[in-house]
Amino acid sequence: MNKAAPQVDDLHKLRHSLAHALAQAVLKLWPGTKITIGPPIDYGCYYDFLFETPISDADFPVIEKEMRKIIHQGQTFRSETLKTSDAKKFWNQRKQPFKVELIEDLVKNEGVKTVTHYANIGPKGEETFVDLCRGGHIENMKDIPADAFKITSLAGAYWRGDEKREQLTRVYVAAFASKKELDEYLQMMEEAKRRDHRKLGQELDLFTFSELVGPGLPLWTPRGTLLRDLLDGYVWELRQARGYQRVTIPHITKKELYETSGHWQKFSQELFRITTREGHQFCMKPMNCPHHTQIYVSQQRSYRDLPQRYAETTTCYRDEQTGELHGLSRVRSFTQDDAHVFCRRSQAAEEILKIWEIVDTFYATVGFGKLRVRLSLHDPDAMEKYLGTPEMWQSAETELRKIAIDRQADFSEAPGEAAFYGPKVDFIARDSIGREWQVATIQLDINMPERFNLFCINEEGAEERIVMIHAAIMGSLERFLSIFIEHHAGLFPLWLAPVQVALLPLADIHEHYAHEVETMLKNVGLRIHYMDHTESLGKRIREGEKLRIPYLLVMGDREATDRSVAVRNVQTKKQVTVPLEQFVERTVKDVQERKLVASIG
């Protein structure tokens, strides 16, 4: 009888247990290795090691073989609670300094007096491996399907994400409840490599990085800037139709602004700080909401003036650790399509629903299907992480929940995922290879109005506290574009393609007609790339396909005579010949209507 596969709910425990098997295998194969941490993650687990001699992917089969031995032995787990002093002694004796440091930090930061060890127990009752761990394991290693995991990659990782500390080797393992799920994941990862936005960004000449400028600071080329502007322009079009006004703020601020907002206390490690020549402390803004409050309070507001809707696309700065930077997904300078609505409590639901409409419209237009909705709530057992009182949080969360129910949204709830100043509605997009990404967000904030004393004068002439709604449609443009590029594999909808049409005359005698076509297309606003006949037609077609130009127009004798164009659709790989005027009319219509798929060919 086949053993039932572990349920999805058990995957966290399975992956956590497998991380212990990985560390145990590595220590057996390389006894002098220093071990650090090994958490479960989406799709598997990893463990960070300090090896005496480097390992490579050639070592993966050896490690996997040892891990399978551990699984087949049917090792179990046994927990033990130790005083921190005894635990430090235990790890010092085993010459594992990173574990000692972890315990010391727990004592210093959390005031713990005891820690938990989990030991792997072999078939004869012997301890085969011990780790510093809070637990969450399967009962027996045999519950891990031996054919449903695979070591996938190595990566460098600084200890604690600090580039001044030791550089470790991170070993990643993919792990699932069945071999079928593992195979599907590995296939997805192969496709993800092909779509990697870092590779496509270079190939399509969208963005670059410079060592002289610094890590995490992307530089946008003309083509990449055009793509950003088209997307941002569409967001603004949707906002402008709903009464938003543009504002502009500086990129630095006095320390006091963020002390008032709470960011200085809650966000201090991620702030780029500046000291002026007079000794005053400033910082580069990590977000925009505190600045926008100061525009609101610059005038006395009547209830008749509300809602006030401010929108701005502007760059923010966060001092991310070097080891956590990744392409456009995690950067130090990022641009937000940020908006803040200042309104009465009674107006909040209507304003949130308007933003929700923008989110749904935008993501449908740029090619994502139905978004999943998550209410990100506070953790009532960790109020020290948040501003405000439990009552304020409960009130705001109840309001968001009611809005989601009234909209008949299919939503989940995630305690502990709220921003420190308020609960939020997070929208989750699924890309074309099945990965999920958190994209847009709407936050209901009742803390910032308290801290900045935001009010309006109501019908009775009295001050009335208002609420503040934070809304980002793309969020960080950089992160959104990393998702968008990979979702479309660089072949963007026609209206967003930096170059929409390439012109390929067959020979000298066709140049005159090709230039006539070029002028006609440019006059109607299409973006053109002229590819003269100095290279062979086949090479030019391959180049156009590599650049993901939606339409390649080939022009020879027949086309020049008939005033037509041979249209090669790069997405469908089909070629049709159509009258020039028909091509222009249909293409302009597709662009104006923001069609997802080029309709010719």
pLDDT at 5: 43
My answer on whether 184 and 207 are in the same domain is: no
The sign of the CA dihedral 251, 255, 260, 266 is positive
My answer on whether 209 and 348 are in the same domain is: yes
My answer on whether 379 and 521 are in the same domain is: no
State the Rg of the chain over Cα.
29
Domain assignment of residue 22, yes or no: yes
Structure tokens at 492: 């963007």
Domain assignment of residue 1, yes or no: no
Q: How far apart are CA 177 and CA 8, in angstroms?
A: 7
Total domains in the chain come to 3
Q: One of 309, 340, 479, 548 is an active-site residue; which one?
A: 340
Q: How far apart are CA 591 and CA 498, in angstroms?
A: 12
Domain end marker among 466, 488, 510: 488
Domain assignment of residue 58, yes or no: yes
Domain assignment of residue 475, yes or no: yes
Task: Give the helix, strand, coil percentages of the chain, each rounded to 5.
Answer: 40, 25, 30
242 belongs to the catalytic site: no
Q: One of 292, 378, 470, 488 is an active-site residue; which one?
A: 470
My answer on whether 533 and 565 are in the same domain is: yes
My answer on whether 288 and 174 are in the same domain is: no
CATH number assigned to the domain comprising residue 433: 3.30.930.10
My answer on whether 498 and 386 are in the same domain is: no
Which residues form the domain of 408? 203-488
Buried b (16+ CB within 10 A) or exposed e, 258-289: bebbbbbebbeeebeeeeeeeeeebbbbbbbb
289 belongs to the catalytic site: yes
My answer on whether 298 and 278 are in the same domain is: yes
Helix or strand run (H / E) with residue 517: helix 511-523
3-state secondary structure of 285: coil
Which residues does 112 contact at the CB level (< 8 Å), separation at least 6? 84, 106
CA max distance for the chain? 90
385 belongs to the catalytic site: no
DSSP annotation string for 401-467 = HHHHHHTT--EEEEET-SBTTB-EEEEEEE-TTS-EEEEEEEEEESSHHHHTT-EEE-TTS-EEE-E
Cβ contacts of 383-391, under 8 Å, gap ≥ 24: 385/266, 385/420, 386/418, 386/420, 386/421, 387/262, 387/266, 387/420, 387/421, 387/447, 387/451, 388/421, 388/446, 388/447, 388/450
My answer on whether 556 and 442 are in the same domain is: no
CATH number assigned to the domain comprising residue 163: 3.30.980.10
Residue ranges of the chain whose pLDDT lies below 50:
1-8
Domain end marker among 463, 488, 513: 488
Q: How far apart are CA 150 and CA 128, in angstroms?
A: 22
Q: One of 150, 223, 318, 510 is an active-site residue; which one?
A: 318
pLDDT at 6: 45
Per-residue pLDDT reduced to its tens digit, 414-459: 888 887 778 889 999 999 888 899 999 999 988 899 999 999 999 9
My answer on whether 131 and 243 are in the same domain is: no
Beta strands (DSSP E) in 39-148 are 40-41, 44-50, 76-83, 114-121, 127-132
Q: One of 263, 354, 424, 568 is an active-site residue; which one?
A: 424
Q: pTM (2 decimals)?
A: 0.85
Helix or strand run (H / E) with residue 375: strand 372-377
83 belongs to the catalytic site: no
Structure tokens at 507: 């020979």
Q: Cα-flanking dihedrals φ and ψ of residue 118, to 5°?
A: -115, 125
Domain assignment of residue 2, yes or no: no
Domain end marker among 445, 467, 488: 488
Number of C-alpha atoms within 13 angstroms, CB side, residue 266? 15
CATH number assigned to the domain comprising residue 548: 3.40.50.800
539 belongs to the catalytic site: no
Structure tokens at 176: 């699932």
Domain assignment of residue 579, yes or no: yes
Find the distance separating the first CA and the last CA of the chain, reported in whole Å: 54
CA angle, residues 201, 205, 210, in degrees to nearest 5: 75
68 belongs to the catalytic site: no
Relative to beta strand 252-254, strand 467-476 is unpaired
Domain assignment of residue 228, yes or no: yes
Domain assignment of residue 381, yes or no: yes
Q: One of 24, 96, 308, 336 is an active-site residue; which one?
A: 336
My answer on whether 484 and 527 are in the same domain is: no
Relative to beta strand 207-208, strand 245-246 is unpaired
pLDDT at 9: 66
Look-up of token digits 């490579």: 56
pLDDT at 446: 85
Q: One of 131, 338, 431, 590 is an active-site residue; which one?
A: 338
167 belongs to the catalytic site: no
- Using an 8 Å Cβ cutoff, are 371 and 428 in contact? yes
Structure tokens at 110: 């959390």
My answer on whether 186 and 122 are in the same domain is: yes
My answer on whether 216 and 355 are in the same domain is: yes
